[in-house]
Structure 1
Amino acid sequence: MAKNCVRLEDVIHKEHLLSACVFSFFIAQEELFDHLPFSLSSNKVPIYIGRDINYDSMLEDACKQADISVKDKVPKMQLQSISDALCMLYKAEYGTNYHAFYAWSPGSSHSKILLLVYPDFLRLVITSCNMMNIDTKLGDNHWYIHDLPKLPSRTTPAPSSFEEGLMEHMRALSTPDSFLRSIEVWEPKSWDMSLSHGLSEIILIWILTPGAAHTDSFLTGMYDYSRVKVHLVTSVSGVCSGLKAEKHGLLRLRRVVQSLDLGLPKKESHGMRLEICAASIGNLSAKWLNGFNDCALGRQKIREASESCAVPDLKLFYPSVGDVDKAHASAKKAASNIGCHTRPWNNAPNEIKSIFHHYESKDTGYLFHQKLIMAYNPQDTEATPYYIYVGSANLSASAWGTLEHDKKSNDATCNTKLTKVNNFECGVVIPGHLIEALLETGTESWQSGIVPYVQTAKKYDLTKDRPWNSPDWVAEKNFRQDYRDSLH
């Protein structure tokens, strides 16, 4: 296997699990469940599985059992009844230790998180992968993996901001308290300690930050978060304004980037490149892209852009129809996961279409499901990026929200608020100075270690190239008509 690559079997070791919680937008049952120790007779190793209820393969059976008719999306008022029916179905099918849970959102419950409890540590995984082989095996993706050592005893200081944010997001996803309490509160147990300490060192991407001292660590609960040097960025549906304006989405991204004090150029320059690769592209406009660009660069002054503003200098990698046609037959299955909602394409401004670049995987013939934001200096190929973002959030208003003027004064956000967030999302911002230490020994460059596509791929030829849209996706009953129109 190539350097800086990871497989699901490298992450989940079911024979050593004490418990596990997996949340993913979409889960291919057997492709994930083969990795988990379900039991029809015992709840000794509880397994918690969360997902977007609208993409649960047993939804139809659960609706029949609950005597509920669902047209497009499960209504919020019927979520509990259908969830209860699904819980019973899964326990009967897979085991007593299967605990199903569901998050409701007006958009997509799109976060992708694994919390794997081993005897000596908690393994945290935040990824761009759905739990299905076309993502975990057949597509380019990113994984943030961090093993958090178990503390010798419970300590009293307040939790770190990362732990606090992670637990808050897990609760927003409706993760059962029975699991969350088990990883927050110290409860000594006579666990089997046969798992070797060395197992926590096998991870190939984003491991521990070296050099963090334990003497003045900020410790809390059951696990040591002191070596977590990345920053959590989440989205939760709703409006973020006032004191909560910087909790999620674009304004959270801006706050994180500002806090890193990266010395980013204050204006557009040849020494600054903002590059994005995403599996789903929203209905892009110059106005929205300006807000995204300002927040991704941590601009000190931001405002709601005008409708007539120019498109910022961004580089977006997304496959054209031709790119997908050239992919390996097995990889084409992954194309069912991706789509572009900039619509209708023929009528979209050329300035928007001109930021699109072809997707060419370094693993020739393969596609992707990654969501990457990268700020770097294109004139200095030796310098590591200013930062990268990896996680679940695609390039869309549903994922990141939209900046709007806030009538309530808020100096921190330049009197802006965040609206139109529809999804649950979760990702991390990784400061550039950490990256070299996170790559495997012998990695040729940071680009070869973390960028799975060809960065010199050409722009779309606007006379013939069109972004890919999956026919399966467009045919779905809840795929909006105006998205279908983007194909024509």
Structure 2
Amino acid sequence: MADRRGPQSNDAEDGFDDEALRIAIALSLGQDPYKPQNGEKSSALVDLAQDEEEEEDNGTGSQSKAAAVSKRAAKNSESSHSSNPVVSTNSDAQTSSLSALFGGLDRKKMEEERLARLKDNKKRSASSAALESPSPTAARPQQRPKVSSSSSSSYKRTTGGGPQTIADLLAPESDEDDDATASSQGSDDSPVTGHMVKAGKPTKAPESGKASTVTTASTVQSSFSNAGRTLSGNVSKPELPFPKGAVKKTWVRGQPRKGDDVTIEEIFQKDKLQLAVLSTFILDEGWLFDKLDLTRTRLILCRGMPKDGEQISDFLNQFPTVRKHLVPVNGSGCMHSKLQLLKYEDYLRIVVPSANLVSFDWGETGDMENIMFIIDLPLLDDPDMTRELTPFGEELSYFLKAKRLDDNLIKSMKKYDWTETKRYGFVHSISASHVDDKAWRTGYCGLGRAVKSLGLGTSKTIEMDVVAASLGSIKDSLLKALYYACQGDSGLKELESRPVGKKAQEAPDLEAADVRKHTRVYFPSKHTVKTSIAKDAGTICFQKQWFESPTFPREVLRDCVSTRPGMLMHNKMIFVTRTEESKDESSKKTVSGFAYVGSANLSESAWGRLIKDRGTKKLKITCRNWECGVIVPAGTTTVAGSSSASSEKQEQEQGDGKGKSKEETVSVTSAEDDTSSWEVFEGHIPIPMKVPAPPLELKGSKSPFFFGGF
């Protein structure tokens, strides 16, 4: 539906409480709620730090605000007398207006619900640190909802036996590897632009099972009771749940909670959430709106731009507080990032998950797990104060600007304290071709840049363990590019190592062989999928012809088996470790490490490819997908030293009498078999898979699970 507010279609109102009442009154009077009336101000821009609409109250506080709005509503009611023959002019006017707005509703029941919510909110305030968990008695969904990645789909829930999959919706093209192939448009040469679509006024009642957005009179009155609140020195700041940043698994129904997981309810905290900017690849709209209170929360929902001829779903048009932000993609790529910006009264929450906004990715069907990074940033004491962003914040801001989100929303992030993000790196892929300085900021070039800026770079050997939910048509060039990036390289090392000429291409690539020795890629086997709770892989995708290609590095694949029994993974992670002999103790070794947590699978679509443009002679990286993730340092630890080095030396000097070669000894005592280095991640980053893991095979039950099932 076209936006009726013209050039302000990218805007959102500052004062949600006042705005909810204004929209409700306008609709009851038959007026266009998005067209400014005589004497009214136009909508302000989105501001992540702004709580209420700025109105003149002459120092009388929230009560005068409410009175002013009521007076304006009464004036509007009188002005519409000519078009409404019967309008009460006495004290019954307000009752008549509310009756027209909320006619047919059970007011007594609504008031009881309001009082219950008020009582519940007081309990929550008394124990703000305690986050609500799903009820252990809640009925488990029978299966996953069958959803679509296309914006034109209706996202209907399905019924029947057994967990559903969306494998029939996955149609990978070329190197496309992700959850599914997205509807997209754009080209390498086209600029990255965004388009915001304002949802229209309600036109029909929500379907059965969908979230209702009817604003009750009691809700409006409750909203005004909180109007005009500001953070002052006399009000103590709340204790933030994630002030230092954390990596968490998604909660999964039926699995014990060990303190390393979090639910979607705990993430959203919908009774406190004022504004949510959510990105997702696949979406179950009805499920999402059950998790939000759209009478109090404004929502900007970022999706990929549909192809030419596709229709945009009109389901969101029922919700005045929801906006769709359509993001263009490059060629056959997709808008695959899952970034969440969640604004509360006193802080901003940033969540970078691997999970889409569907029930099964958040553990509600009990068969799929995901991973996420989460951090809470406190609002600065002075509402008018701004602070320079950290490198993490700068890259996040750069990513949001590339998506063409509202400038004022991006600028308002400076009103929060970013100090605790200094230890992290924000990494992204922007769906386009990038040259000059922009080439070094995105894709695997951006990954290497972030690793180096955090002081994690090295020229020494590292071990790289990649967890992916989908695999593309991988070649050694991609493995080398990622490996070197995890060492802190900008992308030039892999580019300069590419063979030139027929003879060079036919010669063995010794660098690629070395990278394969120190790289492992975790993906589930057919056996793992068949014996899982789901019995099918759903959004996990890999093409058989890619695996069978002679250029595919098959020896790096390992079976991905979850540490939570029966789970399949939709995680996207890279674990990096570096081991050195301890300078203090000869029998010890020092291990340092970090991890990438985000949305990027293992494919060229996700991480890009750096080339030298033949025409301009400039370096250019092209990414097809939108992705984002976070580099999380794990620090350094000291562990028991491996006996491999001493054993090899002893065999060379004395021999062990068993006729073993050096190569055989090394294979038995390789870094993969020595799991002590994984201790560096304990207390920092959950390790979701079992290590060491058996290699995948070309045939049989230990071959990878391929697209299309068994």
Do both proteins adopt the same fold according to a TM-score greater than 0.5, normalized to the shorter chain?
yes
Alpha-carbon deviation of 1:19? 1.4
Q: Is the 8 A contact 1:303 1:405 kept in 2?
A: no
- Which amino acid is 1:402 matched to? R
CA distance in 2, matches of 1:127, 1:289: 23
Q: Is the 8 A contact 1:26 1:52 kept in 2?
A: no
Does residue 389 of the first structure (1) align with residue 596 of the second (2)?
A: yes
Does residue 462 of the first structure (1) align with residue 667 of the second (2)?
A: no
Structure with higher Rg: it is 2
Alpha-carbon deviation of 1:289? 1.9
- 116-125 or 453-462: which moved more? 453-462
Alpha-carbon deviation of 1:355? 0.5
**What count of residue pairs does the alignment treat as equivalent?**
385
CA distance in 2, matches of 1:382, 1:34: 51
- Partner residue of 2:70? none
- Partner residue of 2:425? 231
SS of alignment partner, residue 545 of structure 2: coil
CA displacement 1:258-293 (0-9 Å, x = unmatched): 223336343x4xxx3111011111101122322222
- Partner residue of 1:61? none
Does residue 100 of the first structure (1) align with residue 324 of the second (2)?
A: yes
2:576 pairs with one of 340, 364, 375 = 375
Question: Cα gap change, 1:146/1:434 in structure 2, threshold over 3 Å: closer, same or farther?
Answer: farther
Alpha-carbon deviation of 1:127? 0.9
Does residue 398 of the first structure (1) align with residue 398 of the second (2)?
A: no
- Partner residue of 1:240? 434
Question: Cα gap change, 1:49/1:111 in structure 2, threshold over 3 Å: closer, same or farther?
Answer: same
CA distance in 1, matches of 2:609, 2:458: 23
Q: Is the 8 A contact 1:20 1:48 kept in 2?
A: yes
Question: Cα gap change, 1:378/1:26 in structure 2, threshold over 3 Å: closer, same or farther?
Answer: farther
Alignment gaps of 5+ in structure 1: 55-73, 186-219, 410-414, 436-443, 473-486
- Partner residue of 1:205? none
1:134 pairs with one of 343, 360, 381 = 360
Alpha-carbon deviation of 1:447? 4.5
Q: Percent identity?
A: 26
CA distance in 2, matches of 1:164, 1:434: 27
- Which amino acid is 1:457 matched to? A
SS of alignment partner, residue 433 of structure 1: strand
**RMSD of aligned alpha carbons:** 3.1
CA distance in 2, matches of 1:162, 1:347: 39
Alpha-carbon deviation of 1:463? 4.3
1:252 pairs with one of 446, 451, 467 = 446
- Which amino acid is 2:353 matched to? T
- Which amino acid is 2:633 matched to? P
- Partner residue of 2:530? 325
1:114 pairs with one of 319, 332, 340 = 340
CA distance in 1, matches of 2:403, 2:377: 22
SS of alignment partner, residue 635 of structure 2: helix
Does residue 52 of the first structure (1) align with residue 308 of the second (2)?
A: no
CA distance in 2, matches of 1:15, 1:99: 20
Alpha-carbon deviation of 1:383? 5.7
- Which amino acid is 2:304 matched to? D
Q: Is the 8 A contact 2:474 2:553 kept in 1?
A: yes
SS of alignment partner, residue 297 of structure 2: coil
- Partner residue of 2:390? 160
- Partner residue of 1:19? 275
- Which amino acid is 2:607 matched to? W
- Which amino acid is 1:152 matched to? D
Alpha-carbon deviation of 1:174? 4.1
Equivalences for residues 208-357 of structure 1 within 5 A = 221-228=414-421, 229-262=423-456, 264-266=458-460, 268=461, 272-299=462-489, 302-304=493-495, 305-306=498-499, 307=505, 309=509, 310-311=512-513, 312-313=515-516, 314-329=519-534, 332=535, 335-341=537-543, 343-349=545-551, 352-357=553-558
Q: Is the 8 A contact 2:347 2:377 kept in 1?
A: yes
Does residue 147 of the first structure (1) align with residue 352 of the second (2)?
A: no
- Partner residue of 2:201? none
SS of alignment partner, residue 271 of structure 2: helix
SS of alignment partner, residue 386 of structure 1: strand
CA distance in 2, matches of 1:254, 1:402: 13
Alignment gaps of 5+ in structure 2: 1-256, 500-504, 582-587, 638-678
CA displacement 1:425-463 (0-9 Å, x = unmatched): 11111122299xxxxxxxx97348511110211011334
- Which amino acid is 1:37 matched to? D
CA distance in 1, matches of 2:697, 2:631: 32
Question: Cα gap change, 1:140/1:252 in structure 2, threshold over 3 Å: closer, same or farther?
Answer: same
- Partner residue of 1:453? 689
- Partner residue of 1:181? 408
CA distance in 1, matches of 2:291, 2:485: 39
CA distance in 2, matches of 1:317, 1:104: 31
Alpha-carbon deviation of 1:9? 1.2
CA distance in 1, matches of 2:479, 2:457: 22
1:5 pairs with one of 245, 257, 261 = 261
Q: Is the 8 A contact 2:434 2:622 kept in 1?
A: no
Q: Is the 8 A contact 2:397 2:410 kept in 1?
A: no
CA distance in 1, matches of 2:680, 2:555: 29
CA displacement 1:301-348 (0-9 Å, x = unmatched): 61422355234221010011221111113xx46x21111247343343
Which structure has the higher relative contact order (CA within 8 Å, separation 6+)?
1
TM-score (norm 2): 0.50
Q: Is the 8 A contact 1:251 1:418 kept in 2?
A: no
- 379-388 or 335-344: which moved more? 379-388
Does residue 428 of the first structure (1) align with residue 654 of the second (2)?
A: no
Alpha-carbon deviation of 1:168? 2.7
TM-score (norm 1): 0.71
